[in-house]
């Protein structure tokens, strides 16, 4: 283990005890800087926002809105284009139930892909049941990427929305977002990108990508759970109706009529996730200081090394492209992924085993589940070594 990696790991209390954590794709461990920021926000600095006239409330309001600006800068957008949500799941549901209900009708079509997370499938099915919109599914290339050539053949002027994952949470394959945007816009459709797996490891610029909606969750970005963000252009947000009603999202309320606050506040009913927003800001600061380019390079290298090690075994099936970023899914002959995960846990190795909230992709791969090792910026070769040692022990147990 290099000195740099050791120093990095020491910033993560959750990695103490030589625990080999390979489930960052599910949720990332938190650096001490983020823990300290959330503790201070919940204790020493705590007050409500947007309401109090006393000094601490004003200071917390400034910090909360500064967090919004930080998210905007992280994505390459503007402050008034960021809606705080409980996570990417809520962000996608928000788009479906506001923009979708307002703009889509029976006869319109949505294009998804085979590899989407359930959070980028089920909200659109709920919208389909409500409006009569139809859903098409884009196939994958042989190595597990969204097939944009097939998407171009499928897309018609009837398509009003394309919703794709930036990085597959199972295969680690990366979408060429700019190409997808060009295809969607060519038929007049908008493009929504699920950036949950991209945000922690790829430098983002929504202006360059030319997408219309971008969503991500903080907890995969070394931040707290319970908060995420939706980015959309201000004009798009301004045209979208409110989703939930309550405090903060209003301009004036009477029993006869209510008028609403401008976006993004229009979509943030109730007391917001104050502590979580400050934790997200701290996570962005921390990750930006490490460098997104460094994170992507590091996690691509680790994924390549693990694929090479697994590829030496004749009892392992690998899924996804050779250049996956930070995520490696595989199956072991004669061993259910849950059994493998249990034995690896005894060896101090944590992986994900299951369908990864991507059951249509499991059906496509012809397996009920896979084992998944997902890296973070704190991961290193010792994690790969421990995983391979645990796999060898599993083979001896199962024969």
Nearest-CA neighbor of 93 among 63, 121, 123?
Answer: 123
Report whether 95 contacts 111 (CB < 8 A).
no
Residues 6+ apart with CB under 8 A from 26: 220, 352, 374
Identify the three-state secondary structure at position 316: strand
Catalytic residue among 138, 196, 211, 357: 357
CA gap 184, 158 in Å, rounded: 11
Report whether 170 contacts 321 (CB < 8 A).
no
Indicate the angle between helix axes 32-42 and 274-290, nearest 10 degrees. Answer: 160
Q: Which residues of 21-59 are buried (b: 16+ CB within 10 A; e: fewer)?
A: bbbbbbbbbbbeebbebbeebeeebebebbeeeeeebee
Distances in Å between the Cα of 219 and the Cα atoms of 115, 210, 295, 329, 354 are 21, 25, 16, 21, 20
Residue 83 has phi, psi (to 5 degrees) of -105, 125
- Report DSSP letters for 268-283, one per residue: --SS--HHHHHHHHHH
Report whether 81 contacts 138 (CB < 8 A).
no
CA gap 91, 97 in Å, rounded: 10
138 is catalytic: no
Which run of H or of E encompasses 115? none
CA gap 80, 233 in Å, rounded: 8
CA gap 324, 212 in Å, rounded: 25
Indicate which residues carry an active-site annotation. Answer: 357
């Amino acid at each position: 283990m290099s000195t740099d990696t050791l120093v990095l790991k020491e910033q993560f209390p959750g990695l103490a005890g030589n625990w080999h954590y390979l489930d960052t794709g599910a949720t990332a461990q938190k650096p001490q800087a983020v823990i300290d920021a959330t503790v201070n926000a919940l204790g020493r600095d705590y007050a409500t926002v947007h309401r109090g006239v006393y000094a601490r409330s004003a200071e917390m309001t400034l910090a909360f809105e500064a967090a919004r600006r930080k998210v905007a800068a992280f994505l390459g957008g503007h402050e008034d284009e960021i809606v705080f949500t409980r996570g990417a799941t809520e962000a996608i549901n928000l788009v479906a139930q506001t923009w979708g209900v307002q703009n889509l009708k029976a006869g319109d079509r949505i294009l998804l892909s085979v590899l989407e997370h359930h959070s980028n499938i089920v909200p659109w099915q709920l919208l389909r049941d409500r409006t009569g919109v139809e859903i098409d599914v884009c196939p994958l290339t042989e190595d597990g990427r969204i097939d944009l050539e097939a998407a171009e053949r499928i897309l018609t002027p009837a398509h009003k929305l394309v919703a794709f994952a930036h990085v597959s949470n199972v295969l680690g394959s990366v979408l060429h977002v700019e190409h997808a945007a060009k295809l969607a816009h060519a038929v007049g459709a908008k493009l929504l990108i699920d950036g949950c797996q991209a945000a922690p490891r790829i430098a983002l610029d929504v202006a360059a990508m030319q997408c219309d909606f971008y969503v991500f969750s903080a907890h995969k970005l070394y931040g707290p759970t319970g908060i995420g963000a939706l980015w959309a252009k201000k004009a798009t947000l301004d045209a979208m109706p409110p989703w939930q009603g309550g405090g903060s999202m209003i301009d004036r309320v009477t029993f006869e009529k209510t008028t609403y606050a401008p976006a993004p506040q229009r979509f943030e009913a109730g007391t917001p996730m104050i502590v979580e927003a400050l934790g997200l800001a701290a996570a962005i600061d921390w990750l930006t200081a490490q460098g997104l380019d460094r994170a992507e390079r590091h996690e691509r290298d680790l994924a390549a090394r693990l694929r090479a090690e697994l590829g030496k075994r004749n009892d392992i099936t690998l899924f996804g492209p050779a250049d996956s970023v930070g995520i490696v899914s595989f199956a072991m002959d004669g061993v259910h992924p849950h059994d493998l995960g249990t034995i690896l846990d005894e060896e101090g190795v944590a992986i994900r085993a299951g369908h990864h909230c991507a059951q249509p992709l499991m059906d496509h791969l012809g397996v009920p589940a896979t084992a998944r090792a997902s890296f973070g910026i704190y991961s290193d070769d010792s994690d790969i070594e421990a995983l391979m040692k645990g796999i060898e022990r599993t083979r001896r147990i199962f024969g």
